[in-house]
Every structure is written in C-alpha cells, then in structure tokens.
Structure 1
Amino acid sequence: MSTLSIVGIAGSLSTPSSSRRLIDLTLARINRGIAADNRVIDIAALGSLAVHSRDAAGGELEDALRAVEEADLIVAATPVYKGSYSGLFKHFVDLLDYRSLVGTPVALLATGGSERHALVIEHQLRPLFAVFQAQVLGTGLFLTGKDMADGRITDPAAEARLDRLVDEAVEALTARLAAKRSKAA
C-alpha cells in the first residue's frame, strides 16, 4: 500500500460523465509519475447527499468526506452549469471540515458545452478552494466535448495543459511524501 493518497471528486449529476473520464485520465497520468492510492468519489453515485449538515451524514457520505479531508492530493472536476460548478458538487464541498484542506494540493478540472465557460476555474473553483486555504495547483484544465474523444484528449493545447497540471501534481505529491518521511524519521 502506498503512503500517498489521491482523491478525485467527480461533480457531475450523471454517471458516466466527461468529468469522471477526465479525472480517470488525470489520475492515470499522475500515477505514471508517482505511486499513490487512488479513489474517486462520484457525486452522482453517492445517493446520500440529502443532508443539511455534516452531523446528519450517513456512513457512505461520512466515509467520502473523510477520504477527501485526508487526501494528499485532490483532483476536483465538475461540469459547468450556467457559468458555475454543479450544485451537488458545491453541497458536497460545503460539508467538508474547512480546516482539513489547509495546504492540501488541489488540481482543478472542468468540462462544459462551450468555451464561454472556460473561466469557471479562475472565477469559481479557485476561490472555492482558497476558502479552505488549499494549495490550488497553478494550472487548471477546462475542456469542451470537442476536446475529448474515446476517453482521451484530442486538442494539442489541452493535452499540453494536462501535461503541465500533471507535472505540478507530481511535484506537489513528491514534496508531501518527503515531508511525511521526514516526520517519520
């Protein structure tokens, strides 16, 4: 078992989804650079988000929240609806302990129907995770349907952005691993 954990949050309301496929692709690429245990929390499949507070969370939801809070890297992906992330994605994030993500690296991914939503990463997702004082990676990735086919990226510029995001994620995980090892020593 690895000493590092990556948790993906797939914020789509449907399954399967392009957001989930993008998380899977990103995790596979990160794992080429550094070994880590992966888990993807598919919001659409949780089925237990109808709670008003963390105290009302059932076992499955509590387990998912704890996994995010204890992750060494979070890969957050959401489809864009009317210029923002999905409401269910936001509700899940609202249930997280605000102190738990301080310093945690977060990779931001989004999918949408047109390029007019491309700034969702800068104007919605980055501020959302800044509230938690998370270490949001410098590179985010927004894709439209024309940028992906058969689970792979078809646009060379988007492919280059994913490569840069993966490099940043591997670097952040390498630093986390070194910190863990120095604490253990």
Structure 2
Amino acid sequence: MAHPRIVGIAGNFRRPSKTRSLVEAIGAEVARSRPVDFITHDLVEIGAGLGGAYSRTQLSPEAARVIRDIETADALIVGTPVFKGSYTGLFKHLFDLVEPEALKDVPVLLTATGGGLRHALVVEHYLRPLFGFFEALTIPTAVYASESNFIDGTLVDAAVRERASKAAAQLSAVLGQRVEPARSPEPMRLAAVR
C-alpha cells in the first residue's frame, strides 16, 4: 500500500528560509507518527517560471511540476512569509493557477512566518479563506512563527514547537482516517419479482 503523499509548499524567495524550515519541521513531525512520502517545494526553485506565466500553458516545466504535485497530493503543508500583512503575491499566483476542484476535501495545514507577532493572524485572515475557496479541509490548528522563534534557521521556541506538534498530530489523524481501508458494503441482492 502506498504511503500518503504530503506536499510542502514554502512561499519563500531565498534560502535559507524560516518558512521552509517551519514547513519541513511539521512534515518531519507527521512522518514520525506515520509513514508518509513528503516533498517540499519553494518559490525559489520556480519563481522565474511562475511569475511570467499568465496561464498554465505558459508555465516552465519546473513550475508545472509543482502545480501537478499540489493537485495530486494527499495533503498539503503550506507556508508563506508575511509581507505587508499578507501572503506574497507570487504565493497567491501559484494557487491562482491550481484547478479549483483539485483541492476539494484535501487536508491542508496552514503556516506562516513573519517579523513579529502583529502578523500572527495572517493564517486566519488570508490563508484559511484562500483554501476555503478550494473547499479544502483546513486543519484546525495553524502555526505562525516570528523571527524570534528561530535560531540559525531552526525553530526553537517551545510554545511554537508544541503548536506545530499539535497541528502535525491533527493532520496525521486526518490522514489515518483517509488511508484506512474502507469496509466494503454488502453486495446488493435483488429478489426476483413474480
């Protein structure tokens, strides 16, 4: 049986990236609780091939692959740095090119990073409505981390790490419900009509 495939999307423009670090830390936490296939993409690797595309047909092969990975994932862990109180424009452009029905009922764990605590509600005010449009199944616990929560790019704040663990456990539980084999219904028997 194949393991659930989780795709991490980090909306960062440079490396090293706190956003990517947060997305990968949560992906690793999920992987500790159950076998998963986890890959991470960030905007650094596809920015040029994405930003100039006005439609899917204009995407670079790398950007098209990331869109395909998003649309075929069993779950997503998405993260964005906060710029001027919102997600980045290129992050939004990426999801503008995703087919609306592709994420219906797909579990999505929301994360963001920013310079300070004043941006903490970006996950609730911007990310949750974005994935609500797709009718995705957003995980109840979202994770926001600020600059002071990292040392040398590693998440060290105990409270944020605890929240990340809680969110990862929620995603793992949802995946567990989805990958358990469904009981097959009893075959329907038709009585002969006389």
Q: Same fold (TM over 0.5)?
A: yes
The CA RMSD over aligned residues, in Å, is 1.8
Partner of 1:38: 38
Shift of 1:58: 2.9
Shift of 1:184: 9.4
Residue correspondence of structure 1 range 57-96 to structure 2 within 5 A: 57-96=59-98
Shift of 1:157: 1.8
The answer to whether the 8 A contact 2:7-2:69 is kept is: yes
Partner of 1:12: 12
In 1, the alpha carbon distance for the partners of 2:155 and 2:16 equals 17
Residue 77 of structure 1 aligns to a residue whose secondary structure is: strand
Q: Deviations over 1:151-185 (max 9, x none)?
A: 5432222122111101101001111212xx33899
The answer to whether the 8 A contact 1:137-1:168 is kept is: yes
The answer to whether the 8 A contact 1:72-1:176 is kept is: no
Partner of 1:147: 149
With structure 2 as the length reference, what TM-score do the two structures score?
0.89
User: Aligned to 2:158, which of 156, 159, 163?
Assistant: 156
More moved, 92-101 vs 8-17: 8-17
Shift of 1:22: 0.8
Identical pairs, percent: 37
With structure 1 as the length reference, what TM-score do the two structures score?
0.93
In 2, the alpha carbon distance for the partners of 1:70 and 1:115 equals 34
Partner of 2:107: 105
In 2, the alpha carbon distance for the partners of 1:183 and 1:28 equals 30
Residue 15 of structure 2 aligns to a residue whose secondary structure is: coil
Matching residue's letter, 1:48:
G
The answer to whether the 8 A contact 1:83-1:120 is kept is: yes
Q: Deviations over 1:96-154 (max 9, x none)?
A: 00100000000011000010000000000000000000000000011011112245432
Matching residue's letter, 2:107:
P
Q: Which runs of 5+ in 2 are unaligned?
A: 186-194
Residue correspondence of structure 1 range 102-141 to structure 2 within 5 A: 102-141=104-143
The answer to whether the 8 A contact 1:15-1:45 is kept is: no
Partner of 2:29: 29
In 2, the alpha carbon distance for the partners of 1:184 and 1:64 equals 35
More moved, 54-63 vs 10-19: 54-63
In 1, the alpha carbon distance for the partners of 2:103 and 2:94 equals 14
**Bigger Rg, which one:** 2
Matching residue's letter, 2:49:
S
The answer to whether the 8 A contact 2:18-2:154 is kept is: no
